[in-house]
Amino acid sequence: MAVTVLIPTALRQFTQNFSEVEIEASNVGEALKKLKEIYPDLEKHIFADDNTLRNFVNVYVNEDDIRQKEGIKTAVKNGDTIMLIPSIAGGTNLKDEPLSLSKEEITRYSRHLILPEVGVEGQKRLKEAKVLLVGSGGLGAPIALYLAAGGVGTIGIVDFDEVDISNLQRQIIHTTKDIGRPKIASAADKIKAINPHVKVLTYNTKLTSKNALEIIGEFDAVADCTDNFPTRYLVNDACVILKKPSFYGSIYRFDGQASVFYADKGPCYRCLYPAPPPAGFAPSCAEGGVLGVLPGIIGCIQANEIIKFLLGAKDLLIGRLLTFDAWRVKFREFKIQKDENCPICGKHPTIKELIDYEDFCGLKSYEEEIDEISAEELKNRLEKKEAINIIDIREPHEYAIAKLPSSKAIPLGQVVRRMDEIDSKNDTVFVCKVGTRSVYAIRALKEAGFEGRLLNLKNGVLAWAQSVDKEMAVY
């Protein structure tokens, strides 16, 4: 008989975060036996040494308590649901004995233990804690390494990207041999290599409005290591709804920001930035560049604040925005006021559930308005010697690295001012690195009244290098 075993939140850390498992069984005992064979770590939390159910775990078949039936011999039929219901008291530590540190852990964390602000009890709190990293790139890398080294017991990572050679300039958790691997797999290996006591939960998926509450709900704190606005607003809103703190970091070129957004005790991210900038206005690190050490500095500040929070410290970066200029080596601090009219954490919130963040950040409207051309299509038109303008809106230092044939360089900030240099009688293709800044250029020209046909080179110079000119340098 195929039955479904439902795993409660407190036990999912022992089932690789699965909330339900399908098992073939004829009775409850057989189902539980197979369950512990699949997830051996679960056994001691369900069964006592004499192989009987622990007295703090109840089992239901559909809606019936098996204690009122035949216990673990209770028969099940196809489609039945078996639910485990452990007693909980606000935490997820199901050990029989109070959480303790082994002799090896005491030596490992000795420099923490001699700090009066940490001590044995503080280190136990770190061991008991669960922290989620949304992203394992530039910011997530140092956070993961230092949380693992510091003894945070469970680290979750959400990321669906693979390691690329261009990541290695700053994403120090990945190495050359990891190129092509899922980032979560690479990061998990390094975490376990640093500290085998850490449990790593990985989510090889994109965080969305459909899964954010379920994933984030499993953790005590969230490290916002994102590189795009839709995910950043999603993380903020989910944390506000779930009453979780979000440890914010962002980087661009030589500038970094860090703060702690905790709506129960201060402002949220929307209080600071009620709405995102127009799509394409704020380039990503892939387009704008970033000094390799900068995410290490900002990520370490995030890790510092996370550890302080887990230890119960009061003086967090709540209500404060810390900025860092890596070129001038200057830190500045600004106060952030809680916005009483904030749509999600204000006195009368209008956002009470997660929304469509792609739409909120203006990405869908941009996609609908802009015509695209692929690298192959552009190549064919050039080979036919069609009259076509190719405008590269990247910065001069980028244009010097790699350029398309017959292209003209007009940096993004000069496009509208210099639109008279573009022949409106011909189709005009706009080019940037990955095809996002060029969208902003097209939108700006349309708003300025340019009448010619405007096309965006889909996926930018990188697409040209991958499918047309494989000798072209990529960056």
Domains of the chain, with CATH numbers?
A: 2-86 (3.10.20.30), 129-364 (3.40.50.720), 370-467 (3.40.250.10)
Which H or E element spans position 392? strand 388-392
Task: Yes or no: say if 232 and 290 are a contact pair by the CB < 8 Å rule.
Answer: no
pLDDT tens per residue across all 475 residues of the chain: 788 988 876 677 677 767 788 889 899 888 888 888 888 877 777 777 777 777 667 787 886 778 778 888 899 899 888 887 765 434 434 344 457 899 999 999 999 999 999 999 999 999 999 999 999 999 999 999 999 999 999 999 999 999 999 999 999 999 999 999 999 999 999 999 999 999 999 999 999 999 999 999 999 999 999 988 899 999 999 999 999 999 999 998 899 999 999 999 999 999 998 887 665 555 666 667 889 999 999 999 999 999 999 999 989 999 999 999 999 999 999 999 999 999 999 999 999 899 887 777 665 544 457 899 999 999 999 999 999 999 999 989 889 999 999 999 999 889 999 999 999 999 999 999 999 889 889 988 999 999 999 999 999 999 999 999 999 988 8
DSSP-based three-state secondary structure for 152: coil
- Residues 6 or more apart whose CB falls under 8 angstroms from that of 257 comprise 248, 249, 250, 251, 298, 321, 322, 323, 324
Burial class (CB in 10 A: 0-12, 13-18, 19+), 118: buried
Residues involved in catalysis:
285, 432
Tell me, yes or no, if the pTM score tops 0.85. Answer: no
> CA 31, 32, 36: angle at the middle one, nearest 5?
120
Taking the C-alpha atoms of residue 300 and residue 317, their distance in angstroms, rounded to an integer, is 13
In the structure encoding, which two tokens stand for residue 156, read together? 């979750």
- Residues 6 or more apart whose CB falls under 8 angstroms from that of 329 comprise none
